[in-house]
């Protein structure tokens, strides 16, 4: 047996010399057998397939690196982990251990951050959907409340009237940064004066403590300059507040949105080739803040709510080939045991996918489908891969952001999530869903409890 050759499916591929290859790049052909020294095959054997894997080493490296880049350019920097990006407690706590506060956009996320032990005055409360009871709690807790719209501002003024302490607030500001479409549905607009009016309203009531300004100009922003424009406009508001209201703001919060190294759909360049490094964003923001004309002693803290750029490349999805098919038009289709249910970001990204075992030099173009019984379950429309056999493993790269929090429980149970610690030891950080997990909150009325077929 041992003298037989390793098997690979027979493959034939037309040669279109001179035509541009739209099927991805050579780097996708590298086998990817280990994550932080742990064999992909062993992880799947122990925890099943599919399975999400996070590298604690990479998580910590990324936040340390980002802090260093900002802190060497600006004296007062504070990161707040954007919970929606990935709110598994183990993940959040890695960031908290690295000094990050919490940024939340709902009561559910707020309670999660409290439960994780984040001091309430270090939880930034964003988002358009805060109820009166959310606002009351946050105000009592002295959490910075980032006001999104006028209705919220008026409700908060009413709530504050009944309180001894002034709630700490910032307003969210949206603005033209030269990047379109403009995210103008959140917050108060800078150019048309809404933001300034809201600031004057807050100062006039005397019931709220205006401590900061917030913006989040968009997500996966490929332009570092846009951040420079945004920082400059917020600094301009801060200077006006100082001049008119004699008040120094404690912070300017630049939100999230730095691009990660994924490749957006429709882009001919890979993410790695087109995405600005964090240092470029940092340079744009800190240069604007330092040169806006604020007195050096009165420089505000710089808050950052960076999400995907800190976590995308620390997350991997391991999966297994279910079957290969030939489509009616001759294209090869490979069916995986994971689909858009757990890899939500395949709607936006052409995720890089590597086989997890060695293979020959030959590749073929194929479409990668998930296991769901629906047509939209496409993981990659076009990808060049070596011939994969049923049972082979693959690794999907850069899946750390938004997939855990946006995954759908649809048709299949959601998989386990593993974190490989700094010493290379895997820990389960979320168990695989079970039927009981899902049915725990279901209620079947008595009269529907029985049937005869």
Partner 1 sequence: MKLKSNVAVSDSGFVFNAATGDSYSINPIGQFIFNLIKNGATEEEVIKHILKKYSVDRPTAEKDLYDFKKILESYKLIDTTNE
Ligand X SMILES: Cc1ncc(COP(=O)(O)O)c(C=O)c1O
Q: Which of 228, 271, 276, 307 binds ligand X (CB under 6 A)?
A: 307
The CA distance from 407 to 123, in Å, is 25
Q: Which does 5 bind (CB under 5 to 8 A by kind): partner 1, ligand X, none?
A: partner 1
Site for ligand X in 100-139 (CB under 6 A): 103, 126
CB of 408 to partner 1, least distance (A): 32
Q: Which does 307 bind (CB under 5 to 8 A by kind): ligand X, partner 1, none?
A: ligand X
Of the candidate spans 215-223, 245-253, 322-330, 432-440, the one that interacts with partner 1 by CB under 8 A turns out to be 322-330
Q: Which does 362 bind (CB under 5 to 8 A by kind): ligand X, partner 1, none?
A: partner 1
CB of 16 to partner 1, least distance (A): 9
The helix or strand, by DSSP H or E, that contains position 403, with its residue range, turns out to be helix 403-406
167 versus 256: smaller Cβ distance to ligand X: 256
Of the candidate spans 1-9, 60-68, 183-191, 336-344, the one that interacts with partner 1 by CB under 8 A turns out to be 1-9
Tell how strand 393-396 and strand 315-326 pair up.
antiparallel
Is the N-terminal amide bond of 315 cis, ω within 30° of 0? no
Of the candidate spans 9-17, 150-158, 296-304, 418-426, the one that interacts with partner 1 by CB under 8 A turns out to be 9-17
Q: Which does 98 bind (CB under 5 to 8 A by kind): ligand X, partner 1, none?
A: none
The CA distance from 224 to 222, in Å, is 6
CB burial class (10 A; 0-12, 13-18, 19+) of residue 4? exposed
Q: Which does 370 bind (CB under 5 to 8 A by kind): partner 1, ligand X, none?
A: none
Maximal C-alpha separation, the chain: 86
Q: Which of 46, 131, 360, 425 binds partner 1 (CB under 8 A)?
A: 360
DSSP state of 339: -
Site for ligand X in 188-227 (CB under 6 A): 216, 219
The helix or strand, by DSSP H or E, that contains position 157, with its residue range, turns out to be helix 150-161
The CA distance from 104 to 288, in Å, is 26
CB of 6 to partner 1, least distance (A): 7
**Residue 387, interface with partner 1 (CB under 8 A)?**
yes
Tell how strand 145-147 and strand 353-355 pair up.
unpaired
Tell how strand 426-430 and strand 417-420 pair up.
antiparallel
DSSP state of 55: E
**Residue 18, interface with partner 1 (CB under 8 A)?**
no
The CA distance from 159 to 398, in Å, is 43
Q: Which of 181, 266, 330, 445 binds partner 1 (CB under 8 A)?
A: 330
**Residue 26, interface with partner 1 (CB under 8 A)?**
no
**What binding mask, one character per residue, do residues 327-366 give for ligand X by CB under 6 A, x or -?**
----------------------------------------
Q: Which of 401, 416, 417, 418 binds ligand X (CB under 6 A)?
A: 401
**In the complex, residue closest to ligand X by CB:** 307
Q: Name the β-bridge partners of 205.
A: none
Residue identified by tokens 């808050």 is 303
State whether residue 213 is helix, strand or coil. strand
Cα-Cα-Cα-Cα dihedral sign, residues 137, 139, 144, 146: positive
Q: What phi and psi values does residue 61 have, to the nearest 5 degrees?
A: -55, -45
Residues in contact with ligand X by CB under 6 A are 82, 85, 103, 126, 216, 219, 255-258, 305-309, 401
Residues in contact with partner 1 by CB under 8 A are 1, 4-15, 324, 326, 330, 360-362, 387, 389-390
């Amino acid at each position: 047996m041992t003298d037989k050759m390793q098997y690979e499916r027979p493959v034939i591929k037309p040669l279109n010399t001179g035509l541009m290859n739209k099927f991805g790049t050579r780097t996708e052909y590298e086998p990817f057998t280990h994550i932080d020294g742990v064999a992909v095959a062993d992880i799947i054997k122990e925890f099943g397939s599919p399975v999400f894997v996070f590298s604690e080493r990479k998580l910590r490296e990324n936040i340390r690196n980002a802090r260093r880049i900002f802190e060497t350019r600006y004296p007062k920097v504070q990161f707040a982990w954007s919970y929606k990006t990935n709110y598994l407690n183990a993940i959040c706590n890695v960031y908290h251990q690295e000094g990050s506060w919490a940024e939340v956009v709902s009561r559910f996320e707020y309670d999660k951050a409290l439960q994780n032990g984040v001091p309430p005055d270090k939880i930034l409360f964003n988002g358009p959907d805060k109820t009166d009871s959310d606002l009351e709690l946050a105000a009592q807790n002295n959490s910075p409340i980032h006001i999104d719209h006028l209705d919220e501002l008026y409700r908060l003024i009413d709530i504050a009237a009944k309180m001894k302490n002034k709630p700490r607030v910032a307003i969210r500001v949206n603005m033209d940064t030269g990047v379109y479409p403009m995210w103008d549905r959140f917050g108060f607009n800078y150019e048309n004066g809404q933001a300034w009016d809201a600031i004057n309203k807050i100062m006039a009531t005397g019931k709220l403590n205006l401590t900061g300004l917030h913006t989040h100009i968009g997500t996966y922003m490929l332009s570092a300059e846009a951040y420079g424009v945004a920082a400059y406009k917020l600094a301009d508001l801060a200077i006006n507040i100082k001049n008119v209201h004699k008040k120094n703001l404690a912070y300017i919060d630049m939100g999230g949105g730095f691009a990660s190294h994924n490749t957006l759909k429709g882009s001919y360049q890979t993410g790695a080739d087109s995405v600005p490094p964090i240092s470029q964003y940092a340079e744009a923001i800190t240069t604007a803040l330092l040169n806006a004309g604020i007195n050096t002693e009165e420089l505000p803290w710089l808050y950052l709510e960076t999400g995907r750029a800190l976590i995308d490349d620390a997350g991997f999805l391991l999966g297994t080939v279910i079957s290969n098919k030939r489509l009616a038009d001759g294209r090869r289709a490979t069916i995986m045991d994971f689909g858009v249910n757990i890899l939500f970001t395949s709607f936006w990204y052409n995720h890089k996918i590597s086989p997890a075992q060695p293979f020959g030099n030959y590749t073929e173009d194929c479409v990668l489908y998930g296991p769901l019984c629906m047509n939209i379950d496409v993981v990659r429309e076009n990808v060049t891969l070596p011939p994969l056999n049923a049972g082979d493993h693959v690794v999907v790269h850069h899946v750390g952001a938004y997939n855990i929090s946006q995954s759908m429980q649809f048709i299949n149970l959601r998989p386990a999530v593993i974190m490989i610690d700094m010493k290379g030891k895997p820990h389960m950080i979320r168990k695989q869903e079970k039927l009981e997990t899902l049915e725990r909150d279901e209620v079947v009325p008595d009269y529907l409890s029985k049937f005869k077929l």
